[in-house]
Amino acid sequence: MNRRLARSGLTTVGAGLAVVLAVAGCTPPSLADLPLPGGAPSGPAYHVTVEFADVLDLVPQSAVKVNDVTIGSVDKIWLSGWTARVRLNLDKNVRLPDNATAAVRQTSLLGEKFVALAGPTTEQGVGRLSEGDVIPLSRTRRSAEIEEVLGALGLLLNGGGLAQLKTINEELAKVMEGREATAKDALRQLDTFVGGLDAQKADLVKAIDALDRLSARLSAQRSTIGNAVDALGPGLTVLAEERAQLTGALTALGELGKVGTRVINASKADTVANLRSLQPILEQLVKAGDDLPKSLDFMLSYPFPPNADGAIVGDAMNLHATLDLNAADILSNLVAAAGPPPVMQVAPPSKPTGPQKPIIPGIALPGTLLPPICIPATGILPPIALLPAGCVLPPGCEPLPPGSQVPPGGLVPPNGVIPPGTVFPPNTKVQPGTILPPTCLLPGLPGVPDLLGGLGTVTGEAVGQIGGLTDVLKGGLHP
């Protein structure tokens, strides 16, 4: 209405000016030469196209503002389909983001329309608005017209629901009467609930986004899900057909449980007795410990120890053994096995009255007189250099320290205990690993005859195992 009045008034003014100028004898100017509101920028400008769903009564030459400051004008308005397109002339010095927004507003309640440009409100501004850019319909809007506001107000006042609002208000007052505390508590709880939702807004948005992605994936796999559902049909049909058999199986399983319970109750005493009888066997197996698996390991390679598997080639086995056929050792072992070693006698200092039998240190034969023993039979053997005076070892009988190379025919006393058959008393203790050379073994003493008529000492390189049945049962012989 205001625009129409303005136009009619402008026309009247133009007609009056034309008449006055005609009377004066001058040529009347055109309407384009008259100063109008807005107008294009006076300096360099660039052009931007804006799409609107409704431009109301916006006309060319209307102002373009940013924060109520005029920066340009409307150059052209035309219709493209159902969308209005507005071309704007903007001052070259005005910088706006590439994702700017536009709205059709008016200066006052009955004032003129103008285009308001602004930066985005829901995102960060990016880029820069330049020549030829387009602000799409999604970033434009318009303000409400006064006619629309008055029409809505008239609809509300003319039977639009005010009477119903009064009725609703009266009924609410009746309902709340006497329940003000409950209503306030409900409002407080509602406020707490809404506050909690607001605090978890980010999580709710994430959940909605995740649900959206899940829905998208389900939609993409819709054919696969459909095929899976279709494939379930035959299986469900088979289950329905076998329903009677499945029910019978479950019933029979229940009966089996009853029978099993009855059997267990009847055999409870026998089961407990069997377990008690099994207890001693289990205890002995526990005591056996690692010996049982080691003996089983040896049984697989009997009569050879497990470490001899590498020496078996086909149906033959490479064996390198050393046999100790020393008669003195054999005889001393037999005497030791017959019982505890006899008490050693000391020869009297007087002259012998008759022929003497050969004296073999380390063993005791019937009627044999042994020389004085100056080496302890139960203690640790002292170093050779600390032997008491009068104690003479055979030439070359010098025990080698642990770690030395074992000479051919030498002896390493097991566990540091000297066995019978040496120049030392049996059971004499030495440092474990001490090596006795062949000169310390019997009958290697000079001047002592061989007991078996010159059989001599059979020695060689010792490559073998030493041990008995106990060692075998414990998983093999010990070197």
- Considering the domain architecture, whether residues 400 and 336 belong to the same structural domain is answered as yes
Residue 263 lies in a domain: no
Residue 233 lies in a domain: no
Residue 224 lies in a domain: no
Burial track 363-383 (b if 16+ CB lie within 10 A, e otherwise): bbeeebebeeeebeeeeebee
Residue 231 lies in a domain: no
Compute CA distances 394 → 74, 270, 332, 367, whole Å: 133, 73, 19, 23
CA distance 325 to 459: 8
- Considering the domain architecture, whether residues 6 and 52 belong to the same structural domain is answered as no
- Considering the domain architecture, whether residues 45 and 30 belong to the same structural domain is answered as no
Other C-beta atoms within 10 Å of 340: how many?
6
Please report the pLDDT score of residue 310 as a whole number: 67
> What 3-state DSSP class applies to 307?
helix
Please report the pLDDT score of residue 64 as a whole number: 93
Look at the chain and report how many structural domains it folds into: 3
- Considering the domain architecture, whether residues 43 and 137 belong to the same structural domain is answered as yes
Residue 77 lies in a domain: yes
- Considering the domain architecture, whether residues 56 and 24 belong to the same structural domain is answered as no
- Considering the domain architecture, whether residues 326 and 458 belong to the same structural domain is answered as yes
- Considering the domain architecture, whether residues 75 and 105 belong to the same structural domain is answered as yes
Range of the domain at 109: 38-149
Please report the pLDDT score of residue 390 as a whole number: 60
Residue 274 lies in a domain: no
Residue 71 lies in a domain: yes
- Considering the domain architecture, whether residues 374 and 444 belong to the same structural domain is answered as yes
- Considering the domain architecture, whether residues 53 and 145 belong to the same structural domain is answered as yes
- Considering the domain architecture, whether residues 16 and 53 belong to the same structural domain is answered as no
Residue 242 lies in a domain: no
- Considering the domain architecture, whether residues 30 and 126 belong to the same structural domain is answered as no
Q: Which two tokens stand for residue 308?
A: 């001899």
CA distance 453 to 435: 29
Chunked into runs of 10 residues, the chain (479 residues) has average pLDDT values of 41 41 40 43 86 90 91 92 92 91 88 90 88 92 81 71 77 87 91 92 93 92 91 90 91 91 91 91 84 76 69 69 72 62 43 46 38 56 58 77 84 85 80 85 50 36 46 46
Compute CA distances 11 → 4, 6, 393, whole Å: 10, 8, 153
Examine the fold and report which residue of 149, 174, 205 is the final residue of a domain before the chain moves on: 149
Q: 442 near 326, Cβ under 8 Å?
A: yes
Please report the pLDDT score of residue 162 as a whole number: 65
- Considering the domain architecture, whether residues 449 and 427 belong to the same structural domain is answered as yes
